[in-house]
Chains A and B, each alone.
Chain A
Amino acid sequence: MKNNRIRNVLKGLSFTSAMFIFQACYGTPQDFGYDRLVEGQVTSETTGLPIKGIKVSVAGDNSYYVTTDDEGKFSFYSEKEENVLIGFEDIDGDENGAFRDLFKTVEDISESVYLEIALKDKL
């Protein structure tokens, strides 16, 4: 703790910005952590069973998505922003059952979020 204080004082006196983070010569800049893990499981509201093949994406960005696996699970990293709208869309027709799309807003900006999503049957 004491060392950290001295370090920060010396850093300040030498005009090394508090925000300065080094990068190695042939390396990359350091990752500032602007993303977060979004993971979860999609199930059928009627049967409780997992649904495969559901497209999970950040709404408004169609080129960037994952699909749920055999256990209905998904996982990806997205921008760490408030009020991100995550879409759950049945894009494979009747192949794994027919379900209504659902959009869920993630309000906080925590490092990771786990979503349990139950989709209604398509009428």
Chain B
Amino acid sequence: MISLKKYAFRQFKKIETRAHELNYLFWEFTTRCNLNCIHCGSDCAKDSAFKDMPLNDFLKAIDIIEDKAPNFTVVFTGGEPLLRNDLEQCGTELRRRGFRWSMVSNGQLYSQQRHYSLLNAGMGALTISLDGLEASHNWMRNNKNSFEKVLNAIELAASSMRLNFDVVTCVNQKNIKELGQIKDLLILKNVKAWRLFTIIPIGRAANNPDLQLTNKQFVELMDFIAEQRKTKNIDVKFSCEGYVGKYESLVRDSSFFCRAGINIGSVLIDGSISACPNIDRSFAQGNIYTDNFYEVWQNKFQPFRNRNWTKTGQCKSCREYKDCQGNGFHNWHGNKQNVLVCHHQKIEQGSA
């Protein structure tokens, strides 16, 4: 018999899905990047063939949104958003229209001057990636100076009381033994929140064994996060990348709920309308250059809002399906006949 808590959360998810209130919109602001990382969290491909999307094109798409949700946030992502000199102008225009905005950055160009100009333009939240101590971070970034620069960026961001700022770390073979030291470093830099990911095997990460954790290591990671959450000096959590069974209440603030296409949308570099940028691009639901963005959000997105189609492959007979619903949407790539990563299975096998 399922617990009341589980039952209530399932019903809560149904109501949220039915309402599908858009309140979190990625804007793939540029695909240019100043680094060439071994792994890339946005689309796992370095492709600067696309021109940056002009501000007016994006504004035309979102100006038609009706009944905007409170705290509606536009998240600038890339590529590296700081490569665009009109970032502050774009942010200011969004604030003028009643949107909030935030940014995901590698921190390489995050100088003090830029920090202040971004705050002046109303940036309210920021995420910076730190993938290890000096050697492992620089290895991942393919750049021997990136650690020093990112630490400088983290110090600046953490100094602001008004920014909702967190650091993200992709856990891999090179940094899994460093997690305790990374945590100490972040506390020393006054960081209040730290989010940990694993890397799904797509793009450049597909054939690099250094980027994947074994099942046992994944369990180690869950145990590490659960343990750190008992101490209150920094808010450590596992990302929303997947369903983690018995660790659900131990590693996050809330149970797993992939909100892609339910509350999260995106406008990608070519104008495609989708959800998180790391989702297979074949799931695009329209394009801002040919479709009405808000109509697409309201009336399409069926594969996101009814996930019964994910009851295939190993998910078909899974006992956890009602709580997992096919795991994070970004785990469905290629022919979509099976989930790419099953975190729950990793835990079962890694705990054996």
Contacts and interface: CB of A to CB of B under 8 A. Distances in A.
Contact of B116 (A21, A32, A63): A63
Contact of A28 (B16, B103, B116, B120): B103
Interface residues of A, number: 37
B68 to A, nearest CB: 14
A24 B255 contact: no
Q: How large is the interface on B (under 10, 10 to 19, 20 to 34, 35 or more residues)?
A: 35 or more
Contact of A79 (B19, B23, B162): B162
Contacts of A3: 15, 19
B26 interface: yes
Contacts of A12: 8
A77 B95 contact: yes
A33 B100 contact: yes
Contact of B259 (A14, A17, A24, A79): A24
B10 to A, nearest CB: 8
A80 interface: yes
B162 A34 contact: yes
A20 B116 CA distance: 28
B102 A25 contact: no
B243 interface: no
B106 to A, nearest CB: 12
Contact of A33 (B4, B19, B71, B255): B71
A17 B277 CA distance: 27
A9 B249 CA distance: 19
Interface in A1-46: 3, 6-7, 9-17, 20-35, 37
A24 B265 CA distance: 10
Interface in A28-79: 28-35, 37, 63-64, 66, 75-77, 79
B36 to A, nearest CB: 18
Nearest to B11: A10
Nearest to B168: A26
Contact of B254 (A16, A28, A77): A16
A33 B225 CA distance: 28
B102 A28 contact: yes
Given A13-B4, A27-B104, A27-B127, 17 more contacts: A3-B19, A10-B8, A10-B12, A13-B5, A13-B8, A16-B9, A23-B195, A24-B26, A26-B41, A27-B75, A29-B125, A29-B165, A34-B161, A34-B163, A34-B164, A76-B120, A79-B161
Q: Which 9 A-B pairs have the closest CB atoms?
A: A31-B124, A13-B8, A14-B9, A10-B12, A34-B162, A28-B102, A31-B100, A14-B8, A28-B127
